[in-house]
Amino acid sequence: MNPASRLSLLKPSPIRAITDGTPPGAIPLGLGEPTWDLPEVGRKALLRASGPCPYVPHAGLTELRRAVGAFHGAHLDEVLITTGSQGALFALFQAWVNPGTKVLVPDPGFVAYPALAFMAGAEPVPYRLSAERFRLDADELIRVLEATPETSAVVLNLPSNPTGGGGDLDALRRVAEACTARGVLLISDEVYRDLHFGVRAPSLRDVTDRGVVTSSVSKGWGAPGLRVGWAVGDPAWLAPARVVHGYAVTGTATPAQWAALALLEHSDAVLAEARAAVQLRWEALASALREELGQVVTPPDGTFYHFMALPPAAHADPLAFALKLRDEAKVVLIPGLAFGEGGRGHARLSFAATPEQLREGVRRLAPYWKA
């Protein structure tokens, strides 16, 4: 038996390939997973669930859609609730990306974007982020767009996984105008936008209502296990995506939507607590890097990722270096090459881990950088 041909270009996630083999006692700095508690309002909403547990409309619980709309400054009909932001991305790709077309994805960028393009029968085309701090480079993206007339969609990720780099309003505006002029779907994955260090990254919705923003409660609200996300944008973009999502999963779990609603209704407090937790972890990481390696680092525009420069000797085979760190130093990092050729000289270090894990992890890593 052979699997469907559309899977022929897919490979297992390099992130999971490294993390799934983690030895006992290793420091987990690989996965982007909050280590602070699920906020109390979310826990209480789950515990209050009683009586029937019904289906909800394919578009999502109406009260939750209103809360998401209020958070993004959108109307009810501009909100689709999905099974995580990944569910939103999958539905949008399946609805709007035709086989044989091209999808522009950031390099380095989240590993799911090229995979989603392949599953839609399209070809991912990378565009480079800026050389300094790996931020959105409008000139580069528009250059690639102009050279790729078969483009059906463009994906932004602000702030970026894996780099933490953001973008500015002018860059966003120029990219949005270029995509609108060509009738190309522009998707901005903003799941990390509310984990910032004083200055919140701009949103696509700050410059246009023609694209689609995706996000979820997984990062800023500290609830990845709820698997509740959303797409916000022009109803014309969302309507066919709603059909795809409905056939794929029927709807996002009802109790999870109730909990997500409670988190959204208390966003001011929940997000402030999450930013405080991330700030504490960043300070632990920065202090450890300074003490162990003499490195002075600045926080990312957002996220809980530090895109750490690798020793020059590791550039030839970053995966082998990461596996050596995992198995010998017992520290899990993700090589930047997993996110595209543009990340070859770096590794993604998740500082969502506890402060104690971060300090011990850097202590274990230090000899391999000094060597």
pLDDT at 331: 97
Helix (H) or strand (E) holding 254: helix 254-265
Tens-digit pLDDT profile for residues 95-114: 999 999 999 999 999 999 99
Tens-digit pLDDT profile for residues 317-330: 999 999 999 999 99
Instruction: Measure the CA–CA gap between 19 and 332, rounded to whole angstroms.
Output: 7
* Reported CATH class of domain 51-267: alpha beta
Looking at the chain, the domain(s) classified CATH 3.40.640.10 span 51-267
Strand boundaries in 194-342, DSSP class E: 212-216, 229-233, 305-309, 331-332, 334-335
Residue 172 tokens read as 């966003």
Ordered alpha helix ranges (H), 294-354:
318-324
Instruction: Measure the CA–CA gap between 212 and 324, rounded to whole angstroms.
Output: 40
Residue pair 248/90 in contact (Cβ under 8 Å)? The answer is: yes
pLDDT at 168: 95
pLDDT at 70 over 80: yes
Helix (H) or strand (E) holding 261: helix 254-265
Which residue bears the tokens 């209020």? Answer: 70
pLDDT at 6 over 90: no
Q: Model-level pTM?
A: 0.95
- Return the closest-CA partner of residue 351 out of 195, 231, 241: 195
In the chain, the percentage of residues whose pLDDT exceeds 70 is 100
Residue pair 213/205 in contact (Cβ under 8 Å)? The answer is: yes
Q: Which residues pair with 63 in a beta bridge?
A: none
pLDDT at 12 over 80: no
- Count how many Cα atoms sit within 13 Å of the Cα of residue 280 in the half-sphere of its side chain: 14
Average pLDDT over residues 72-100: 98
Looking at the chain, the domain(s) classified CATH 3.90.1150.10 span 5-37+269-370
Residue 49: pLDDT band by 50, 70, 90 thresholds?
confident
pLDDT at 144: 98
Instruction: Measure the CA–CA gap between 298 and 301, rounded to whole angstroms.
Output: 9
Task: Produce one character per residue of 345-366: b if its CB has 16 or more CB atoms within 10 Å, e if not.
Answer: bbbbbbbbbbbebbbbbbebbb
Q: Distance between terminal CA atoms of the chain?
A: 48
Residue 1: pLDDT band by 50, 70, 90 thresholds?
confident
**CATH number belonging to domain 5-37+269-370:** 3.90.1150.10
pLDDT at 286 over 90: yes
